[in-house]
């Protein structure tokens, strides 16, 4: 059935293919439908299709490949933990094309980091579950993901304490079992010096006395009673991070 919206046609076409690429339905090297096929599918003009493809090319999502037409490009940016949630919810896929993770660790530890204690409303020394993994793109380490959960969260989602990889978003499991929706707060980004463990995880080899600045984003998750989780992503130097645009009125 033809697709048409009340908004700008080219933006809707671009959004359709952007979502399929991010969900992994279209992988790097896959060809997009021909201009004629897209025109028929969306009931739009050739100019509208051209504008949509131009948007996707400017975002680094597709590229022209001669006789193959327009194909999905190799990923040029890193996806943060919180940006994986919509894909996991829609498709069950934790990883995008060419992405995987290694170095999984699950620990029950006393928390003394003031920032994490404030975020989760923990007293210094209280125990929390800490999960760590290194994300890789085509074998290259791109970021280290750290997630921390207070006791009331892993009481409801005991899978967080297990060594196995989580196959579902913790917020979905928590909401199903408690009836309380989990909402991510504002994501913050900043620079700081990388720790020795982070340098090892990202395969960065420098003398011990050499400081290395890394970009970090963090976000705290809440339910109606307070914080239920804290996520932090530490990106390898030089990596690009997609910052989703906020849509006014949504």
Question: What confidence tier does 162 reach under pLDDT thresholds 50, 70, 90?
Answer: very high
Specify if 109 maps to a domain.
yes
Specify if 56 maps to a domain.
yes
113/223 same-domain check: yes
Closest CA to 77 of 216, 194, 247, 243: 243
Q: Which residue range forms the structural domain that includes residue 200?
A: 94-235
Number of structural domains found in the chain = 2
Query: Do 69 and 31 contact (CB within 8 A), yes or no?
Result: yes
Average of per-residue pLDDT across 5-29: 80
For position 8, what pLDDT does the model report? 52
Count of CB atoms within 10 A of residue 55's CB? 17
Query: Do 191 and 214 contact (CB within 8 A), yes or no?
Result: yes
pLDDT surpasses 90 at 81: no
Query: Do 51 and 80 contact (CB within 8 A), yes or no?
Result: no
For position 6, what pLDDT does the model report? 46
Query: Do 84 and 187 contact (CB within 8 A), yes or no?
Result: no
23/117 same-domain check: no
Q: Between residues 123 and 59, which one has the greater pLDDT?
A: 123
129/45 same-domain check: no
Residue 185 CA to residue 249 CA, distance in Å, equals 18
46/157 same-domain check: no
Instruction: Give the pLDDT confidence of 196-249 residue by residue, as tens digits.
Output: 999 999 999 999 889 999 999 999 999 999 999 999 999 999 988 877 655 444
138/177 same-domain check: yes
CATH of the domain at 168: 3.40.1410.10
63/115 same-domain check: no
65/33 same-domain check: yes
Specify if 245 maps to a domain.
no
CATH of the domain at 31: 1.10.10.10
For position 193, what pLDDT does the model report? 95
Instruction: Give the pLDDT confidence of 124-139 residue by residue, as tens digits.
Output: 999 999 999 999 988 9
Instruction: Give the pLDDT confidence of 18-48 residue by residue, as tens digits.
Output: 888 877 788 788 899 999 999 999 989 999 9
Query: Do 247 and 219 contact (CB within 8 A), yes or no?
Result: no
Find where tokens 């201009």 sit: 35
Specify if 54 maps to a domain.
yes
Q: What is the pTM of this model?
A: 0.78
Specify if 185 maps to a domain.
yes
98/41 same-domain check: no
pLDDT surpasses 60 at 5: no
């Amino acid at each position: 059935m033809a697709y048409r919206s009340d908004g700008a046609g080219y933006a809707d076409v671009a959004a359709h293919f952007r979502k399929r690429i991010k969900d992994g339905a279209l992988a790097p090297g896959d060809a997009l439908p021909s201009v004629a096929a897209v025109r028929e599918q969306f009931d739009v003009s050739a100019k509208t299709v051209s504008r949509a493809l131009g948007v996707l090319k400017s975002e680094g999502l597709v590229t022209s490949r001669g006789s193959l037409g327009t194909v999905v490009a190799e990923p040029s940016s890193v996806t943060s933990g919180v940006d994986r949630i919509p894909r996991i919810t829609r498709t069950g896929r934790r990883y995008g094309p060419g992405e995987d993770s290694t170095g999984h660790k699950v620990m029950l530890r006393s928390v003394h980091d003031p920032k994490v204690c404030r975020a989760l409303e923990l007293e210094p020394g209280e125990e929390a579950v800490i999960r760590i993994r290194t994300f890789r793109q085509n074998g290259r380490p791109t970021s280290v993901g750290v997630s921390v959960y207070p006791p009331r969260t892993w009481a409801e989602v005991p899978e967080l304490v297990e060594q196995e990889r989580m196959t579902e978003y913790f917020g979905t499991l928590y909401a199903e079992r408690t009836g309380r929706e989990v909402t991510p707060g504002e994501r913050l980004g900043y620079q700081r010096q990388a720790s020795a463990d982070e340098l090892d995880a990202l395969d960065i080899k420098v003398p011990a006395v050499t400081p290395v600045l890394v970009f970090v984003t963090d976000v705290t998750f809440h339910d109606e009673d307070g914080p239920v989780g804290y996520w932090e992503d530490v990106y390898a130097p030089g990596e690009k991070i997609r910052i989703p645009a906020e849509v006014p009125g949504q």
